[in-house]
Chain A
Amino acid sequence: MTYLLVTTAAFGAFTLFFAVILAIAGRVFKIEGNPIADNIESLLPQTQCGQCGFPGCKPYAGAVASGEAEVNQCVPGGERTMLQIADLMGVEPKTVEDEATAPMIAFVREDECIGCTLCIKACPVDAIVGAPKQYHTVITEHCTGCTLCVEPCPVDCIDMLIKPELLEHWSWPLPDTHRAQLAIERKGQHASHTS
């Protein structure tokens, strides 16, 4: 009987002790924000284009983390981003319906620009410079190609152009061999039977 009492008391004491430790640890090592949402956000291309239906990459990441959005809604990210998010979330990959074709950049036809600053306000990454009644121009190396500036322009003077490929950014293609082709096919098969 005494054994039972001692054991119960000991376990009770241990429980209390660890509960206190856990409570303290919970305070000390508390992580601010949602770590899953942050991880998803780090996978997104950060174009802030809103093509997913959310007003930016962060809201979309939050929505995916809480299960409100699908993993295949990021258009500029394409299949690669979808696969990474699906992998992180532990869900089945879904097909990306409309994948972006080539990286684009906005271009302001300066002759026609009236200097209304509406595109400047629309740009989510501050990549357009200009002042009221002055020509505006796009900083090419900062433009994410989100097309958010095209619609607000009252005189339709913004074009979306295919981003020119730079010699410095050129990279060697995959060797054009039978075996390299096989590797691509196998990769596709793997993706299809895991989904």
Chain B
Amino acid sequence: MLHTLLKSIQKSTRTFSGGIDPEMAKITATTTIATSMQPQLYILPIKQHIGEACEPIVSVGDHVKWGQKIAKSQGYVSVPIHSPTSGKVVKIEEHATPHPSGMGLPSIFIEPDGKDTRDKSLKPIKAYRDIDPTELRERLRLCGIAGLGGAVFPTFIKLLKDNRNPIETLILNGIECEPYLTNDHRLMIEKAKEIIIGIDIIMHMVGAKKAIIAIEDNKPNALEMMQETLEILSGNFPDNTQIEVCQLPTRYPQGSEKQLIEVLTGKQVPAGKLPMHIGVICQNVGTSKAIHDAIIKGHPLTERIVTVSGDAVPRPGNMKVRLGTPMRFVFAQHGLETFDDIHLLHGGPMMGEKLKNADVPVVKSTNGLLAMHSASMKEAHKSEQPCIRCGHCGVVCPVSLVPNLLADQCRNKQFEKAESYDLFDCIECGACSYVCPSNIPLVHYFRYGKGQLAQIGREQNFAHASKQRSEHRDDRIAREKEEKAAKRRVVREKHVAKADDDKTSAGKPDHDKTADHKAADRKKPETTDNTIQKDKPSPKSSPSKAASDKASS
């Protein structure tokens, strides 16, 4: 009784609006991180982050080293991809990626040679405090670091020291609110030192003086570990830095960037703005560890921690997996060989996406791999009932939307209306679908609506661009015609003048003859024009057409 009262008071002091308390099922919280074996073949899709795809810079038959860049980034929002081992590039072709569409992307296939020879082109930087932040930023870009919490946004973009938006607080996200997933939890216990050095690197890069490590109260051992390590390392940091570990009550979706910022700072990130606009930056603990490896060791991002769990996995656990390892191979190491009547999820059960099969590689966004028996999956899709207006979805929505209304609008294709009801502020956390007593797949409707709106936008842009191109073409044709006509006019006037001269010099006012002369002169430039134009068939009018043009002018 007192406990629940305390808990509710605690919640009311530091929490965001909405949210749910799903069954956490963190069955792998106590299993230490194992290291995955080498598969026979690595498959690396050329796009593993949000933004533009990369372009392969190796060709079939090339020998690559572990950590060597194999695909270069194109555009600003992009990071390169590196080889996860030493070996040979065997083929570059399209292969399925962990994407809900099941569509493929061009992928680089690497056959390991078993030696794991490191590429040592990137030198370790030990004294990072003496290095200019821009240089460190370029290093992170070169190392292919993207947010490992699941969104895989290129990290270097966020770590910008900008005087217009000075960063006051760094928030380190160790919340891990998704059920089943424990990869961040284990990482905080086993790699606390690396994570905290990573924090110091980030603070140096953005010039922040304050950092908060946020951990939910269902991971007390991680909290303890981080606190202890912080005390040990605190002597190494500059005097005015302030790093604290903060315990928060367990609540889903607290690990969402904007919700976590609201909980810790009391400030809301405005719609369409980024956390840096309110002086905050948020990083996942896994990203912090990757930043440490990239700077201190000079290792590009080639591996990550993955939680392999779910009720269909015989030996669930956490595993350090090299990027590009086929998921079938990862599951096999946990005792799961056949996939009949099993649902595979890429990510957690709330926000993860269903996979069509296990023959896709682990990519930078793979924080969890779940295999569930079909019977234990809620068949929300088939049993959708009419909305009973209970309002639960609106209560749990962490961004204070009206999910039932939005779902109706999306279902009935009133997309513009849904947009005006802030459909794009939806973070797709799935809390509404989770509580809906009518089993309405609300988030699916929102994803559908967002996709359709994006499609409409693309079509409009394309139509606009096409219209402009067509107008420019019409203008150009009109201009060319005009220029040609002007040219002809000049030539004709010259010849008329010449003919008049001839006429006056001859002193014979013979009208028919002059007319003949004129006609002959008029023909002349055209014929020469044509011979010149013969091997350059630009849209020149034929002699007869030119004559008619002239007649009209």
Contact = CB atoms under 8 A, between A and B. Distances in A.
B494 interface: no
B266 interface: no
A35 to B, nearest CB: 17
Contact of A169 (B411, B455, B466): B455
Nearest to A170: B101
Nearest to B535: A132
Contacts of B445: 174-175
B413 A187 contact: yes
Interface in A157-189: 165, 167, 169-180, 183, 186-187
Interface in B80-131: 97, 99-101, 103-105
A58 to B, nearest CB: 8
B411 A167 contact: no
Given A167-B101, A179-B386, A179-B411, A172 B448 contact: yes
Among A45, A124, A177, which residue has the most Cβ atoms of chain B within 10 A?
A177
B465 A45 contact: no
Contacts of A144: 462, 466
B387 to A, nearest CB: 9
Given A125-B473, A179-B411, A173 B466 contact: no
Give the interface residue-count category, chain B: 35 or more
A173 B448 contact: yes
Contact of A117 (B413, B440, B537): B537
A125 B451 contact: no
Given A132-B535, A167-B101, A175 B448 contact: yes
Contacts, number: 97
Contacts of B537: 116-117, 132
Given A46-B463, A132-B535, A183-B411, A124 B451 contact: no
Interface in B507-543: 535-539
A56 B539 CA distance: 20
Contact of B464 (A46, A124, A180): A46
Give the interface SS of chain A, mostly helix, strand, loop or mixed: loop
Given A124-B473, A171-B451, A132 B413 contact: no
Contacts of B97: 167
A73 interface: no
Contacts of B539: 121
A165 B451 contact: no
Contact of A125 (B99, B382, B466): B466
Nearest to B412: A183
Give the interface residue-count category, chain A: 35 or more
Contacts of A46: 462-464, 466-467, 470
Contacts of B444: 172, 175
A47 interface: yes
B64 to A, nearest CB: 25
B452 interface: yes
B296 to A, nearest CB: 35
A44 interface: yes
B361 interface: no
B550 interface: no
Contact of B384 (A56, A121, A165, A178): A178
Contacts of A94: none
A164 B144 CA distance: 29
Contact of A187 (B412, B441, B467): B412
Given A167-B99, A179-B384, A127 B451 contact: no
B458 interface: yes
B465 A142 contact: yes
A142 B469 contact: yes
Given A121-B539, A132-B538, 4 more contacts: A116-B537, A133-B535, A171-B452, A175-B445
5 contacts: A46-B470, A57-B467, A171-B447, A177-B382, A179-B385
Interface of A: 41, 44-48, 56-57, 116-117, 121, 124-127, 132-133, 142, 144, 165, 167, 169-180, 183, 186-187
